[in-house]
C-alpha cells in the first residue's frame, strides 16, 4: 500500500511540474528574399493565412530585397497592416524600394550590421524614374504607412522624393537611404541585431518554437508553371493537341493534352494575379475566331487575322503584370521573355505540325489508338460510285477546298480533296485521280 501511494505521489508531482512549465510561444518566419512580384504577394498572403490558422504569437519577416512592383508591394502592405499579431521585420541585408515600404508597414524594424533601408523611388521598366503620378502615389503610401506606425512621415517621403528637404538630415538632389546606425538614430530601426533569435531575446520571448513558412508542394508546382520557358512548351502542346485531334477526330488523347496544357497555362497566372478576366476572355475569343475561319467562313480574312492577333496578344499579356495595356512599371526583360515564350511556343507548334505530324502517324503508339487499317484493291476490296472515269476532267471548286471540299463537274457535285493546297470557290480544277468515292484534284492555273 505504501508503495502504491509513493507511485501516485510521483505521478501527481510530474503532472504538477508539467502544468507549471510555460507554454511555448509560436513564432512564424516568412522570407521576403526575392523580387516583389505577384508570386511574392501570393506567398505573403498564404504565409499570413498559415499564421492565423496555427495561431502564431509573433510573425517575423526575414527581409533581403531590392524591391519590385509597386502594386504587389501595396498589396503586401495592406495584408500586413490588417494582421493583429505583432509583425517584426529583420532587415538582414537590404530593404530597398518596395522592400522599404513593406518594412515600414511592420510594427518593429530590426536591422543587421551593414544593412540598409530606403531608396524607394518608383522606376519604370527600363530602370528610369517613373512619371510623377507614380512618385506622388508612392510618397502618399510611404507617408501614411509611416504615420500609422508612429514613424516620421517626412523621412518616409524623403526615401521617395529627391526634392524633399529635411534640415540637417537631407538636402535636395538625393533620396534617403539609411544604414543601420542612421535608421536607429532617426527612429526607423529599433535595434541592431544579428539573428531572429536575438530579436526574440530583446523582446523577452524566452520559451518559443520557430517555424519558417515554406510553400506547399502544390504551390511550388504552380510556381514552376510560371516560368516563361514552361509556358512556351504548354503553348506548343495546346497547338499540337488541337491539330492532331482535328486530324484524327474521336481519338480524344490529343484534345485532352491540349485542354490540360491550357489549364496548366492559365491557372497559375490567374492565381498569382497576372491573368485578368478580360485577358482570358480575349484568348478564348481569339481561338473561336480561328476555328470559325477554318471551318465556317470561306476564304481567309478578317476573322482569321483577328483571331491570330488576339490569341498571340492575350497569351503575352497573361504573363505580364500590366494594368490594361499600361506597361510603364513592367520590366522590359519581362516583356521580352513573355513575347519570346509565346512566339517560340507558337513557332514550335507549327514546326511540330509540319515535321512531326507524318512521323507520328507511323508510330506504334499512334496505331494503337487510331484506326489505320485500309481496305485496298490488293486485298480484293473495290468501291466506286462513278459510272465513268473522270480522270483528266476539268470543273470548278463548288466550295473552298482546305484541302477537302466539293467540286462541280458537268453539273454534278463530287467530294474532292487536294494534295495539300488550298483552292478557293469557283476556281478551275482538274481531276488527277480517284480514291474510293472521292476525287483527287489540283488547281488549274489560268
* Residue where a domain stops, chosen among 195, 214, 233: 214
Buried b / exposed e over 366-383, threshold 16 CB at 10 Å, is: beeebeeeeeeeeeeeee
State residue 433's pLDDT score.
87
- pLDDT of the residue at 4: 57
Kindly state whether residue 4 falls inside one of the protein's structural domains. Answer: no
pLDDT of residue 64: 95
Neighbours of 67 (CB within 10 A): 22
Domain check: are 264 and 353 in the same one? yes
Q: What is the DSSP letter of 378?
A: G
**Which grid coordinates are listed for 374?**
485500309
Is the CB of residue 81 less than 8 Å from the CB of residue 148?
A: yes
| Domain end point (choices 214, 233, 254) | 214
Grid coordinates representing 35 are 523580387
233 and 269 part of one domain: yes
Rg (CA), the chain: 34
**111 located within any domain:** yes
- In a domain? residue 184: yes
CA 2 to chain centre: 72
In this prediction, the residues of the chain whose per-residue pLDDT falls under 50 are 17-20, 369, 380-381
> Is residue 77 in some structural domain?
yes
User: Do 187 and 148 share a structural domain?
Assistant: yes
The shares of helix, strand and coil residues in the chain, as percent rounded to the nearest 5, are: 50, 20, 35
Clarify whether residues 248 and 137 are in a common domain: no
Strand ranges inside 45-182, DSSP E: 58-65, 87-96, 108-111, 116-118, 177-179
Query: Residue 27: enclosing H or E segment and its boundaries?
Result: strand 25-32
Residue 282 lies in a domain: no
How big is the CA angle at 376 (ends 372 and 382), to the nearest 5 degrees? 135
Could you tell me if residue 21 is inside a domain? no
Q: Domain check: are 67 and 141 in the same one? A: yes
CATH number at residue 424: 2.40.50.140
Number of domains in the chain: 3
Count CB-CB contacts under 10 A for residue 226: 17
**Which DSSP state fits 178?**
E
Do 387 and 363 fall into the same domain?
no
Q: What angle do CA 52, 55, 61 make, to 5 degrees?
A: 65
Our CA angle for 17, 18, 21, nearest 5°, is 90
247 and 342 in a common domain: yes
Residue at 19 is within a domain: no
Residues 174 and 31 both lie in one domain:
yes
Cell reading at 94: 537590404
Domain CATH number, residue 194 = 3.90.226.10
Q: Same domain for 399 and 268?
A: no
> Which residues partner with 209 through β-bridges?
26
Q: What does the pLDDT read at residue 78? A: 94
DSSP 12: H
**What's the grid cell of residue 155?**
523621412
Q: For residue 56, what are the domain limits?
A: 26-214
pLDDT of residue 19: 46
Residue 324 CA to residue 63 CA, distance in Å, equals: 31
Q: Are residues 333 and 227 in the same domain?
A: yes
Contact 110, 86 (CB under 8 A): no
pLDDT at 256: 85
Query: pLDDT value at position 108?
Result: 96
Assess whether 391 and 363 both reside in one domain: no
* Sign, Cα dihedral of 179, 185, 190, 196: positive
HSE value, Cβ hemisphere, 13 Å, CA-based, for 219: 13
**Alpha carbon distance 418, 406 (integer Å):** 11
User: Residue 132 has what pLDDT?
Assistant: 79
In 3D, which of 266, 263, 268, 262 has the Cα closest to residue 240? 262
- Please report the DSSP string for 216-242 in residue order: -HHHHHHHHTTSHHHHHHHHHHHHHHH
Cα–Cα distances in Å, from 243 out to 248, 255, 357, 359, 365?
Answer: 9, 9, 9, 14, 17
Q: Answer whether residue 3 is part of any domain.
A: no
Residue in this structure with the C-alpha cell 496555427, named with its chain if needed = 54
Judge if 348 and 421 occupy the same domain: no
The contacts of residue 205 (CB under 8 Å, 6+ apart) are 25, 27, 57, 58
Report long-range pairs for 330-339 (Cβ below 8 Å, ≥24 apart). Answer: 330/125, 331/125, 332/125, 332/126, 334/125, 335/125, 337/228, 338/228
CB 160 within 8 A of CB 142: yes
Which strand (E) or helix (H) includes residue 434? strand 428-435
Positive/negative CA dihedral, 443, 444, 445, 446: negative
If one counts every other C-beta atom within 10 angstroms of the C-beta of residue 66, the result is 15
Q: Where among 214, 230, 258 does a domain terminate?
A: 214
Amino acid at each position: 500500500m505504501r508503495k502504491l501511494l509513493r507511485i501516485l505521489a510521483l505521478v501527481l508531482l510530474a503532472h504538477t511540474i508539467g502544468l507549471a512549465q510555460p507554454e511555448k510561444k509560436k513564432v512564424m518566419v516568412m522570407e521576403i528574399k526575392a523580387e516583389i512580384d505577384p508570386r511574392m504577394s501570393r506567398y505573403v498572403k498564404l504565409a499570413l493565412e498559415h499564421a492565423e490558422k496555427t495561431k502564431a504569437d509573433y510573425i517575423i519577416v526575414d527581409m533581403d530585397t531590392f524591391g519590385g512592383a509597386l502594386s504587389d508591394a501595396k498589396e503586401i502592405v495592406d495584408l500586413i497592416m490588417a494582421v493583429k499579431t505583432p509583425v517584426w521585420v529583420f532587415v538582414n541585408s537590404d530593404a530597398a524600394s518596395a522592400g522599404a515600404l513593406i518594412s515600414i508597414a511592420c510594427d518593429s524594424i530590426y536591422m543587421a550590421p551593414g544593412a540598409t533601408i530606403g531608396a524607394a523611388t518608383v522606376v519604370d521598366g527600363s530602370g528610369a524614374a517613373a512619371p510623377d503620378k507614380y512618385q506622388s502615389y508612392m510618397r502618399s503610401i510611404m507617408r501614411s504607412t509611416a504615420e500609422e506606425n508612429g514613424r516620421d512621415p517626412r523621412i518616409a517621403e524623403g526615401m521617395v522624393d529627391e526634392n524633399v528637404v529635411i534640415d540637417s538630415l537631407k538636402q535636395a538632389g538625393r533620396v534617403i537611404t539609411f544604414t543601420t546606425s542612421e535608421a536607429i538614430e532617426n527612429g526607423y530601426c529599433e535595434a541592431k541585431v544579428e539573428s531572429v533569435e536575438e530579436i526574440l531575446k530583446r523582446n523577452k520571448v524566452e520559451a518559443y518554437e520557430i517555424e519558417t513558412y515554406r510553400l506547399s508542394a502544390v504551390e511550388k508546382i504552380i510556381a514552376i508553371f510560371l516560368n516563361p520557358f514552361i509556358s512556351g512548351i504548354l503553348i506548343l502542346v495546346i497547338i499540337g493537341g488541337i491539330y492532331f485531334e482535328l486530324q484524327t477526330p474521336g481519338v480524344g488523347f490529343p484534345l485532352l493534352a491540349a485542354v490540360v496544357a491550357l489549364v496548366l497555362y492559365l491557372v497559375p497566372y490567374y492565381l498569382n494575379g497576372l491573368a485578368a478576366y478580360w485577358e482570358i476572355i480575349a484568348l478564348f475569343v481569339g481561338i473561336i475566331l480561328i476555328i470559325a475561319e477554318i471551318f465556317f467562313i470561306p476564304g481567309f480574312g478578317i476573322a482569321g487575322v483577328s483571331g491570330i492577333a488576339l490569341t498571340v496578344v492575350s497569351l503575352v499579356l497573361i504573363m505580364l503584370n500590366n494594368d490594361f495595356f499600361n506597361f510603364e512599371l513592367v520590366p522590359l526583360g519581362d516583356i521580352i521573355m513573355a513575347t519570346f515564350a509565346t512566339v517560340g511556343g507558337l513557332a514550335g507548334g507549327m514546326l511540330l505540325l509540319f515535321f512531326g505530324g507524318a512521323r507520328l502517324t507511323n508510330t506504334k503508339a499512334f496505331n494503337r489508338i487510331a484506326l489505320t487499317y485500309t481496305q485496298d484493291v490488293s486485298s480484293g476490296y473495290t468501291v466506286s460510285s462513278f459510272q465513268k472515269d473522270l480522270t483528266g476532267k476539268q470543273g470548278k471548286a463548288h466550295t473552298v477546298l482546305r484541302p477537302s471540299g466539293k467540286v462541280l463537274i458537268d453539273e454534278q457535285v463530287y467530294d474532292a480533296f487536294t494534295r495539300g493546297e488550298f483552292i478557293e470557290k469557283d476556281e478551275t480544277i482538274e481531276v488527277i485521280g480517284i480514291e474510293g468515292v472521292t476525287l483527287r484534284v489540283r488547281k488549274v492555273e489560268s
